[in-house]
Amino acid sequence: MRLAFAAIATALALIAQPARAVQPDEMLANPALEARAEAVGRELRCLVCRNQSVEDSDAGLAHDLRVLIRQRIARGETNTQVVAYIRSRYGDFVLLKPPFKLDTALLWGGPFLLVLLGAGLAWRFYRRQPPVATPPLSEDEQRRLSALLDDGAQP
Amino acid sequence: MKRRRWVFLAPAAVFGLMAAAFYWGLGLDTMVLPSPLIDEPAPHFALPPLPGHRDGFSSADLKGHVSVVNAFASWCVPCRDEQPALNALARTKRVPIYGIDYEDKPADALAWIGALGDPYTRIGADSGQVGIDWGIYGVPETFLVDADGRIRYKHVGPLTEADIHRTILPLVARLER
């Protein structure tokens, strides 16, 4: 019973799609243009809820931005032009993927810096370890080793 | 051996640095975003008046003098807190205040200024698109526009009377010079 329930829950979770906030009356009739509008909306942050894209958010501002994106795309603007316009109004924060600039250099470069730092520390640490010299076997050990080896050779 | 001793202090030092960074971060107001429109010309727009009012609000109104532009809405609770400060600013007769009634029902907006006072020289009713031109993402937001029609200052969130006296009025005086 419990297993069946878990199986059903898993199956439902697998077929579930994230709910989209786009209303049917907002959509463009031309599917190619609508797909472009969606792509633009996915790149843009809804500034009311902050961590949802304009395409996912139910906020009033996100609705207005979706309408604006579709108006501009229907008017013949490129995706880049639409994004540039909205960025000129709301700044870089509206882009879900921040551009590489001087003030975002630490954000983009940080992980690489940490890897370099770790590699440097590891290199210093291992270089400092003296190579471990293995002392030669004593006579007694040598005899026991030969006995074991001989033993193994004669089943 | 002596060289190694500082290594044991390193985790404490890292912790200290992180704690300081997070403590600093706690004090930041993440709701306030820097506007890319500062020192840019105000957008071109023409908003219709509220029903019963003679004039709407358009970019032509901003030319030739310093203006305060305030985006508000009757459904916005912080705007309610802000209204006494705006009324006080209006009483100084120092600077005209223009209102952008953002995504509002006109009848509600009329009832709202009827109840809380009307500090506005002109009000334009916006269905949301002009708000995007101004980079508005949450009301109330207040802009200072200079005589050339450039946006020079933006305040996000409700203005207090202290903001009016400490920031807005001194800036108006500076922009008029």
The ranges assigned to domains in chain A are 20-94
In a domain, B19, yes or no: no
* Residue B9 belongs to some domain of the structure: no
Span B66-91, average pLDDT: 96
User: Under a CB-based contact definition with an 8 Å cutoff, are residues B59 and B42 in contact?
Assistant: yes
pLDDT at A102: 86
Q: Which residue range(s) make up the domain with B67?
A: 46-176
What's the pLDDT tens digit per position in A49-92? 888 999 999 999 999 999 999 999 999 999 999 999 999 999 99
For residue B133, give the nearest of B69, B49, B64 by alpha carbon. B69
pLDDT of amino acid A127: 84
**Shortest CA distance from B104: residue in chain A:** A60
Residue A152: which pLDDT band, with cuts at 50, 70 and 90? low
| Across B89-98, average pLDDT | 96
CA distances from B40 to A94, A99, B154 (A): 18, 21, 12
The answer to whether position B25 is within a domain reads no
Cβ separation A87–B133 shorter than 8 A:
no
Residues of B in contact with A65 (CB under 8 A): 132
Pick the CATH number of A20-94 from 1.10.490.10, 2.60.120.10, 3.40.50.1360, 1.10.8.640: 1.10.8.640
* Segment among A6-15, B103-112, B143-152 with least mean pLDDT: A6-15
Which pLDDT belongs to residue B55? Answer: 94
Asked whether the beta carbons of residue A47 and residue B34 sit closer than 8 angstroms, the reply is: no
* Residue B125 falls inside a structural domain: yes
CB of B103 within 8 Å of any CB in chain A? yes
B95 is a domain residue: yes
Domain CATH for B66? 3.40.30.10
Q: Rounded to a whole number, what is the distance in Å from the CA of B54 to chain A's nearest CA?
A: 27
Which residues from chain A sit within 8 angstroms of residue B71, using beta carbons? none
Structure tokens at A80: 């880049």
Nearest-neighbour CA in chain B from A37: distance (Å): 17
Q: Does A64 touch chain B (CB under 8 A)?
A: yes
Q: pLDDT > 90: what percent of chain B?
A: 86
Q: Does residue B61 fall inside a structural domain? A: yes
A35 pLDDT exceeds 60?
yes
List, for residues B40-71, the tens digit of each pLDDT value: 999 999 999 999 999 999 999 999 999 999 99
Question: In this structure, what token pair is assigned to residue B55?
Answer: 């004039």
Q: Residues 71 to 110 of A: which have CB under 8 A from any B CB?
A: 86-93
Instruction: Give the total number of structural domains in chain B.
Output: 1
